[in-house]
Amino acid sequence: MTSDSVSRASLAIVAAVALAAAAYFADTVFAPLTLALFIIALVWPFQRWLQSRIPALLALAVTMTLTVLAMLVFASLAAWGFGRVGRSLIADSARYQAIYDAVVDWLDGHGVSVAGLWAEHFNWSWLLRGAQQITGRVNTTLGFWIITLVYVILGLMEVEDADRKLRAYLSPDTARVVAGAAADTARKFRKYMQVRTLMSVATGLLVWAFAAATGLQFALEWGVIAFVLNYIPFIGPFIATLFPTLLAMAQFATWQAALGVFVCLNVIQFVIGSYVEPRVSGAVLAISPSVVLLVLFFWTFLWGLYGAFIGVPIAIAVLTVCEHAPSTRWIADLLGGPLPGGVREKAPARR
């Protein structure tokens, strides 16, 4: 490796660390801005279609009204599902604490001494307080959404102007690469949300049908929760299987029933997430699963709940930009999904 390559690699690492630090310490600025750019990419085709038929300001008003309405419907579904289940869990907290104590006693009786140490620092009330704190934090994000919607309004008004400035102030080749990367990223964002929504609906319906067939309480609520949480890869499906399992443990009072619920719900999540979804999304959204997991935890650490949601779209955007730049195309190839079945590794050249 030449000294020039080492210098560029070092500068890239320093720049990445600086961007991560800025995203962490200035999350109140960058988190709503990033989410707003994602929303703009989703709704811009509809906005452009409306602008060709009605005045631009009226088209903007219609687009924003429908966007806010979609957000309110989604938030209402989430609040309804979590609220109903949460009240039941809080009401039965004594029963869950008793189950937990019985499990700890059983583990201690079989020589698993760490259970007693863990019991000193954990109980069901502590878990409930943590859930209530998370709920309270979600309820205080009205300002975040207001800032995001302001960014969306301003961004939709400036999309066409930004495209003209891009072509006016950059060289033709650079402008073509930037414009192509931006358009391709927006297209992938829309494909990502289409696939994610279809898979969330399928997951919610299957979870509801399974819960109803087995007599598990709150079958409809579990279906709604599975639908909502499926928008967050890995973490969402895990939570959507953990809490129904806890309820089954208290409702059916046998560990076999709880284990059966946990296994069946995980089978549903696995089939939808690992078999159906890759075939629906195809190679357009192919990303290495390890990269998805890494960016999920990374952006969750930086921005919490919103980072968990927006982490994968950010990875899609970065890989798309790398794909359009010849010097970084290897990054997109390396971190993308697996090669198709018919593609073989190139054989090394003979000397």
Where are the chain's structural domains?
27-335
Is the pLDDT at 67 greater than 90, yes or no?
A: yes
Cβ partners under 8 Å of residue 230, min gap 6:
196, 199, 200, 203, 204, 236, 237, 240, 272
Q: What is the mean pLDDT of residues 22-36?
A: 89
Is the pLDDT at 310 greater than 80, yes or no?
A: yes
Query: Any idea which of 202-206, 224-228, 229-233, 287-291 has the lowest mean pLDDT?
Result: 287-291
Report long-range pairs for 306-313 (Cβ below 8 Å, ≥24 apart): 306/31, 306/35, 306/144, 307/31, 308/232, 308/235, 308/236, 309/231, 309/232, 310/31, 310/34, 310/35, 310/38, 312/192, 312/233, 312/287, 313/38, 313/189, 313/192
Cβ partners under 8 Å of residue 124, min gap 6:
93, 96, 97, 100
Interatomic CA distance for residues 263 and 261, integer angstroms: 6
Residue 275 has, within 13 A of its CA and on its CB side, a CA count of: 8
Q: What's CA 338's distance to the chain center, in Å?
A: 21
Q: Which tens digits make up the pLDDT trace of 169-199?
A: 888 888 888 888 999 999 999 999 999 999 9
High-pLDDT (> 70) share of the chain, %? 80
Grouping H, G, I as helix, E, B as strand and the rest as coil, residue 287 is strand
More confident residue, 110 or 233: 233
Written as six digits, the tokens of 33 are 């801005």
pLDDT, residue 351, reads 40
Written as six digits, the tokens of 136 are 């309270």
Written as six digits, the tokens of 151 are 């960014």
pLDDT, residue 316, reads 92
Is the pLDDT at 282 greater than 80, yes or no?
A: no
- For the chain, the average pLDDT equals 82
Split at pLDDT 50, 70, 90, the class of 128 is low
Is the pLDDT at 253 greater than 70, yes or no?
A: yes
More confident residue, 128 or 351: 128
Ranges of H-type helices in the chain: 3-25, 27-51, 56-91, 93-109, 114-121, 124-139, 142-169, 172-214, 219-229, 235-252, 255-270, 277-281, 289-303, 305-324, 329-335
Please, are residues 104 and 116 in contact by the beta-carbon 8 Å criterion? yes
Q: Which tens digits make up the pLDDT trace of 199-225?
A: 999 999 999 999 999 999 899 999 999
Is the pLDDT at 90 greater than 80, yes or no?
A: no
Q: What is the mean pLDDT of residues 261-271?
A: 92
